[in-house]
Amino acid sequence: MALRGVRVLELAGLAPAPLCGMILADFGARVVRGDRPGGAAPAPDVQGRGKRSLALDLKRPQGAAALRRLCRAADVLVEPFRHGVMEKLGLGPEVLLRENPRLIYARLTGFGQTGKYAKSAGHDINYLALSGVLSMLGRKDENPHPPINLLADFAGGGVMCAMGIVIALYERTTSGRGQIIDASMVKGAAYLSSFLWKSQSLGFWCRPRGENLLDSGAPFYEIYKTSDGKFMAVGALEPQFYMQFINGLGLDSDELPAQMSISDWPKMKKKFASIFAQKTQAEWCTIFDGTDACVTPVLSLDDVASHQHNKQRSSFIKNDEGEISPRPAPLLSRTPAVPSCRRDPFIGEHTEEILLEYGFTKEEIAKLHSDEVIEFRKLKANL
């Protein structure tokens, strides 16, 4: 795989950092998740695919010293703590990069390492709000509405951080030097919205929220309910696609207002909604599949893996416990990701083997264990 041989230490945190680590693991990196002993994880890591778990108490001097030693042999450290936490532990980038100048030190936080809110708590909704993106999301005459916690946490955070790590690893091939990555979810979400900023002069966003072309204002870029309580997504923006959409609905375009007659959009929405409500989702799929009307079913998580297109693409995988999840993306032609099909690791499951792999002796490991700096979790065989 593309990242084969890359050693990553990911300190346990909430959703964004685990996604970053899982992406790296999916594409071949050897990712070690540094967990807190006693099962005191911040939250269950449901993105532990392909990782191993090392239970290590960083608040103890011996634990911090052990992580410093691990970092000397690592390529990447991913840390998700607020500004100043790692410095208090004696594990700041100045220390670790001095001991390993090739280390990529990735700091994944909500507000970033500098600025007024650098030491403040927050969540996706706060980062999205500060990025300016949240003000654009929502329907007409309603409050701004965040799309779960996908944009700031995962796209602006986990994915952007993984991209930064890969870029830094690539640069290291010529310079031989590591560097610090300041991955802020606020800045990441704002960067994702570059199109919104750069398209303002085109008139896409000149009207209030929920009245524009792509924010649920247009009747041809909308979601409609079907007779069986399911939904169809319509994205018929271009005139030629809009004509196919109108034909699929059984309407005559000559008897309708012009597509871009904004004053008629609310009336057209009601008309389209009444038509969609007359057939089931499957019936609408029969009408629109194979056309360029840009109309597709809104699939539930229960249905998405069995949809014909997704099955043909092998877009979802099942682990050895029968859990279904998305296959890694994008697809590389020569070195594709080969995601692990094993269950996610238990906290401390691989502590001993990881320390041995990084050069600790069995005596050193035994001492760390007796001092309760590390934790083992031996799985009992089912007899």
CB neighbour list of residue 95: distance below 8 Å, 6 or more residues apart = 68
**Alpha helices, DSSP H only, in 237-332?**
239-248, 265-276, 281-288, 308-313
- In angstroms, the CA 327 to CA 205 distance is 34
Amino acid letter for position 172: R
- In angstroms, the CA 231 to CA 302 distance is 14
Cis peptide before 101 (omega within 30 of 0): no
- In angstroms, the CA 294 to CA 237 distance is 8
Selection from 215, 233, 236, 235 nearest residue 224 by Cα: 233
Q: What is the pLDDT of residue 380?
A: 55
User: H helices then E strands: how many in the chain?
Assistant: 14, 12
Cβ atoms of 209 and 136 closer than 8 Å: yes
Cβ atoms of 348 and 377 closer than 8 Å: yes
Q: What is the pLDDT of residue 383?
A: 40
Express each pLDDT in 182-223 by its tens digit: 999 999 999 999 999 998 888 778 899 999 999 999 999 999
Q: What is the pLDDT of residue 271?
A: 98
Look up tokens 């050693």; give the residue: 7
- Which position among 123, 182, 307, 369 bears the catalytic label? 123
Selection from 292, 250, 102, 237 nearest residue 180 by Cα: 102
Q: Report the CATH architecture of 7-193+331-371.
A: 3-Layer(aba) Sandwich (3.40)
The highest-level CATH class for domain 221-298 is: alpha beta
Cβ atoms of 184 and 110 closer than 8 Å: yes
Whether 335 shows a pLDDT value over 90: the answer reads yes
Express each pLDDT in 73-103 by its tens digit: 999 999 999 889 999 999 999 999 999 999 9
**How would you write 206-239 as a 3-class SS string?**
CCCCCCCCCCCCCCCEEEEECCCCCEEEEECCCH
**Alpha helices, DSSP H only, in 203-341?**
239-248, 265-276, 281-288, 308-313
Express each pLDDT in 98-117 by its tens digit: 999 999 999 999 999 999 99
Cβ atoms of 157 and 226 closer than 8 Å: no
- Which position among 26, 35, 57, 153 bears the catalytic label? 153
Q: What is the pLDDT of residue 38?
A: 80
123 is catalytic: yes
In the chain, domain spans = 7-193+331-371, 221-298
| Mean pLDDT, residues 58-86 | 96
| Mean pLDDT, residues 142-168 | 96
| Residue 383 token pair | 């007899």
| Residue 358 token pair | 């990084």
369 is catalytic: no
Selection from 38, 44, 30 nearest residue 56 by Cα: 38
Selection from 291, 249, 303 nearest residue 271 by Cα: 249
Planar angle of CA 138, 136, 113, nearest 5 degrees: 120
| Residue 206 token pair | 């000149």
Q: What is the pLDDT of residue 267?
A: 97
**Alpha helices, DSSP H only, in 258-325?**
265-276, 281-288, 308-313
Q: What is the pLDDT of residue 314?
A: 92
| Residue 169 token pair | 């690893």
